A and B are shown apart, each in its own frame.
Chain A
Amino acid sequence: MSAGQSTTPPPATAVSPEAEALFRKTWAPRTGLGRLSAVNNSIIGRRFIATGFVFFLIGGLLSLFMRTQLLFPENDFLSEELYNQFFTMHGTTMMFLFAVPIMEAFGIYLIPSMIGTRDLSFPRLGAFGYWCYLFGGILLYSSAIFGAMPDGGWFMYLPLTDKQFSPGINQDFWLLGVTFVEISSISGAIELIVSILKTRAPGMTLNRMPIFAWYMLAVSFMILIGFPPLILGSILLESQRAFGIPFFEIAAGGDPLLWQHLFWIFGHPEVYIIFLPAAGLVGAMLPAFARHTLVGYNLIVLAVVGTAFLSFGLWVHHMYATGISRFALAFFAGASLAVSVPSGVQVFSWIATLWRGKPVMRTPLLFILGFIITFVIGGLTGVMVAIVPFDLQVHDSYFVVAHFHYVLIGGMVFPLFAALIYYLPRATGRMLSERLGKWHFWLFFIGFNLTFFPMHLTGLLGMPRRVATYPAGLGWDTLNLISTIGSYTLTAGILVFLFNVIWHVKRGRPAGVNPWDSPDLEWSSVTPVPPFNTRSIPHITGRDPLWAQPDLARQIRDAEGYLPTAEEGKREILATSTVGAKPEHVTRLPHPTFKPILAALATATIFSGILVSMYWLALVGLVIFVVILYLWLWGELPEKETKPVGNGLELPIAVGDQHTPAWMGTLTLLLADLALFVSLVYSYFYLWTTADSWPPVSYEPALSESAIIFGGLLVVLVLATAVAHAGAYLSSRLLALVGLTATAACLVALLILGFQAYDQLPFDITSHAYGAVLSAMGVYVLVHTCLSMGSALFALARVSVTGITRTRSLSVRILSMLSYYTAFTGVVAFILIYGSANMMG
């Protein structure tokens, strides 16, 4: 039993004691080894946050070693080799293992409570994402055991990270470890998007959505579009390192700058992927302390949507010094300046909320004020480095280090501490110490500014970043000394926080219900919050529900809302319409299962096999993964069509059509997939503009017989899929089976012909980037052909066993989506492979 539990007995409810007991048993987590099977968002969210914080401490420790090395000029505390590894792992840890996962984790932990539901739409996907994150982080750090930590910088620039200059396995750890971790980010993003759009409490229309949900919705889309370019870049770079396929090799028509483009198309939105959730948390917490509703809700929503789009037009401002034309740089400078407008809107909104309210000064508010001050300073230097001539002066100097730490620590770590102090009582049922909190804040705030403010000056005085030591007498000595003292002060603040956390578990004041008097739904429950988050699903009539509907929290706790019981012993939530949040059907969620952890272990086997070049091992991992996936997807059909959900409403159960979360989840996954494909097409056109000859002489692929049939079969694939789709629409099992069989046969033929057509192409992939990129496109299409085939076989089995109706046809509808998408990418690849030589003249 966790601390504080004894202080909050289960409330009396409107349902019978037996029904109440069954409900609680249905949602109860397992104990012992069964904990590994947990899928519930409360448990997974807490694990994510705790793991992210551990990585924060590890990354922080690495930076402390670096600051100790830079304490004096000519210091030899760390070797240059170790210093390179430490700054690489510091950046990698903070960006990939701490900042993004912990912010997403807050979404996973809080969103269901905030939108008035019980769990996220895909609990097993959340658990799978967590295990991928943990195993990916372990994979990255296992490099230390082999003395081979990545040392090419967190940005892995070429040609330094190519095999020629980095022959060890160091960079392979980075490329594979980070890609593994990114699976987790993408799975989390899909979960959040679908949950926010499909499972909000009835009445919670888009304009009544909690502001944090808006932020997480925008950020999740940014992850779906921003991460695939880096995944593609990592695959291409690993292919070049492992097999010599020359995507980035100038002599063979490639370009190392392509890596920088792919990296920063991901890397700049990443800054906002980190900042926006933190800003969302500020928006969620601020009304409770300002005693006033958030000012400018509509404008903040606009600012979030605006930032999400604009952030994809800024990536080149990390590449001002790479020789890109001034004219093109000006576009990016303009976009970089434009993004300060929505950032400013948010800052003014927070200030206005405090201005119009009656602020109550508690520790989280201190951190919020620290955040506003620090972030504004970081934002102002951001405007400075957005200006091309200024940036060229300070490029790769400590000025930039100061700038991005003000943005990232100011914009994300300050709100994180505020949120941890604010939300920990939800999980533990006890409050943290205010006195320790104030010590924590002041040590951290002073330490932070002592560390990073002098770096502006060190940078302006010319000290370059990423140097293991520096000579005396250049004016950098005292500033570095101050920075190092500051870093130890900052660390002392973090230690006070850790002590506070340990202290509060035993000694903290019981939190009770809604200890901050927040207006938001996540505080409607008793603390510690039970695994089901929301005892019954409420009907929402306003934007600040607990303030606007004073009796709402009691009604929720007393099971007076929707789905008050779990009479069938199933975990259930309501699915609602996307814009108007009208109840549509009951969604059934899975109970604890070991499938996610087993699937993640299989994925770890795949990545480990590739890392050590034992490709048979990777294949074994893949086979195991596919088997687990099939078992995962084969769900039970409900025992009845509809059920009463309370308040006189009767809804269908576990519908399997285009309204179901699984359908929307597949659609969002395809969006990420499309982003990867577009990045590949972008790579093709980018290399076209940089290569001497594109395509190279004698590389023009001629249409072979296999290729012509392949092209024709893409059209047949669409028709066959349409027949299967029509079977679902008309509830015709026969039509669906005919369509599915034809689709599967078509996909098999496409695979065979695809290999034949590839064999007849007049180039090998290792001699020129042209052949390399086109081959990558071919591989992409063939992989999707295999995926569609797997989906077709699954749908065939499903329809054969359980039949098909219009509302129970999910497997066919998902296959249709995959199949149409495969045909689309096949057509694009076909045109580029066989038509590009003519296009290029």
Chain B
Amino acid sequence: MTRRSTSDYLPGYPATAMGLLTPPILWACYFVLIYSLHGMVCVGELENSLIRAESLPEFLMAVTLLAIALHASIGVWSWRLLGKLNRRVSAEPTELQQRARFLAAAAAANAGLFLVATVWIGLPVLILEPCL
């Protein structure tokens, strides 16, 4: 078995198609979770569970902070990977190098965008009363 040359370096996740899609999928899960939970808690359907109307803001805030932390982690991870790829790249980047840099850059930028979206959606938790 031959070793891969530097030009064939395949960094793997998050410089993959899935890495690019992770931030939006994470955001979609976050959005569905907070919207559904809010709806169900406010009509009293989860009365017997851990999450009640009184504790809803704290719970939503915790979920929002977790989502922000995950986006930030993916963003930093992708950004550092992009830096690493940029340092490895030759004067004439190979097809694989170009693709890996593109996917890493897109994953980092996507993480930034969806971090902003999460902050904007989560901010009302600090200001508004739930269930009004």
Contact = CB atoms under 8 A, between A and B. Distances in A.
A312 B95 CA distance: 34
* Of listed B24, B48, B123, B130, residue having the most chain A CB within 10 A: B24
Binding site of B, secondary structure by majority: helix, strand, loop or mixed? helix
A301 interface: yes
B99 A841 contact: no
Contacts of A328: 35, 38-39
Contacts of B36: 685
Given A207-B98, A207-B99, A309 B27 contact: yes
Contacts of B25: 309
B1 interface: no
A205 B101 CA distance: 12
Nearest to A302: B109
A251 B43 CA distance: 18
A206 B102 contact: yes
A342 B113 CA distance: 8
Interface string A286-317: 00000000000011011001101110110000
A688 B39 CA distance: 10
A388 B18 CA distance: 35
Contact of A305 (B24, B95, B122): B24
Contact of A313 (B28, B39, B43, B45): B28
B50 interface: no
Contacts of B128: 326-327, 330
A50 to B, nearest CB: 36
A341 B118 CA distance: 13
B36 to A, nearest CB: 7
Interface residues of B, number: 42
B131 interface: yes
Interface in B90-132: 95, 98-99, 102-103, 105-106, 109-110, 113-114, 116-117, 120-124, 127-132
B112 to A, nearest CB: 9
Interface stretch (A58-66, A332-340, A814-822): A332-340
B128 to A, nearest CB: 5
A207 B103 contact: yes
Q: What bracket does the count of chain A residues touching chain B fall in?
A: 35 or more
A331 B124 contact: yes
B20 interface: yes
Nearest to A579: B17
A338 B105 contact: no
Given A327-B131, A689-B40, A334 B120 contact: yes
A335 B31 contact: yes
B20 to A, nearest CB: 7
Given A306-B113, A328-B38, A338-B121, A580 B99 contact: yes
Given A327-B38, A327-B131, A331-B121, A203 B21 contact: no
B72 interface: no
B67 to A, nearest CB: 13
A841 B31 contact: no
Contacts of A327: 38, 42, 124, 128-132
Interface in B67-101: 95, 98-99
Interface in A175-228: 203, 205-208
B61 interface: no
A312 B105 CA distance: 24
A207 B101 CA distance: 9
B117 A335 contact: yes
Interface of B: 17, 20-21, 24-25, 27-28, 31, 34-36, 38-40, 42-43, 45, 48, 95, 98-99, 102-103, 105-106, 109-110, 113-114, 116-117, 120-124, 127-132
Interface of A: 203, 205-208, 298-299, 301-302, 305-306, 308-310, 312-313, 325-328, 330-331, 333-335, 337-338, 341-342, 578-580, 685-686, 688-690, 840-841
6 contacts: A306-B110, A309-B28, A312-B28, A328-B39, A334-B117, A688-B40
